[in-house]
Chains A and B, each alone.
Chain A
C-alpha cells in the first residue's frame, strides 16, 4: 500500500514562472518530509525538508509547505529555471522513509 502519492506524473512550466509540485500521504504518524531531485543518469539529491512541527520551510527559490490536516505537502520553485528540469520525489518518514513515484518537471525556455 503506497503511503506517499504524487498524483501528477509530469509538469511543464515556463521559465521564470512558479512550479508547484504536490504530494499526498496517508500515514498520520509521518513526522518528517523531504524532497529529492533527480537528473537522468544520476542518483537523487536531497533538496529541502520540513519537520511536522512546521508548516513552511524556505531555502532560496525552493519552499516546502506542509498541511497536516489535509496530509498534503507541496514544493514551490520560483522562479523556475531550465536547470530545474528533473524528476522530483517526495518522501515522508517515521523511522523509515517512504517515497512517492516522482513528478517529472520540464521548464520551457
Chain B
C-alpha cells in the first residue's frame, strides 16, 4: 500500500452534481490536509484536520465540505461546483501539524467541472 491513496484519480462533473473525493493514509499520521493546485499557481491549503478535528478552514466556499471520520480517512464532498473549481485536489498527511513536519501527498484527483 502506498502511503497516501486518493480516489478517484480523475473526475468530471456537472455544476449540479454531488460527488466526493476520498483519501486514505497508511502512515499512522495524526494530521490530514486538502490542498488545491491550479495551473501555474502555488498549492492552496483548503482544510487541516488534527486528530480528526478541523483546525483550519482557509476561507473555502461552502460548496466544498470536508469530513474526517477517523485519523486515516479524509473526504471532500463537492456540490454545485463552478468551472473555476477545476483543478488538481491533493490530500496530504503528516505526523503532526506544524510547518516542520513534512507532508506526504497522495497522487491527487484531477477534477473537471463542466
Q: Could you tell me which A residues sit within 8 Å of B by CB distance? A: 2, 4, 9, 31-32, 34, 36, 41-46, 49, 51, 89, 92-102
Main secondary structure of the interface of B (DSSP, over half): loop
List residues of chain B with CB within 8 A of the CB of A49. Answer: 100, 102
Q: Kindly state whether residue B20 has any CB partner on chain A within 8 Å.
A: no
Query: How many interface residues does chain B have, given as a range?
Result: 20 to 34
Give residues of chain B (59-100) contacting chain A, Cβ–Cβ below 8 Å.
90, 92, 97-100
Q: Which residues of B contact A101 (CB under 8 A)?
A: 40-42
Give the interface of B toward A (CB within 8 A).
4, 6, 40-43, 45, 56, 90, 92, 97-100, 102-108
Contact A41 B100 (CB under 8 A): no
Contact A44 to B105, CB < 8 A, known contacts A9-B40, A97-B45, A101-B42: yes
How many Å from the CB of A68 to the closest CB on chain B? 16
> Which of B40, B97, B103, B108 is within 8 Å of A95, CB to CB?
B97
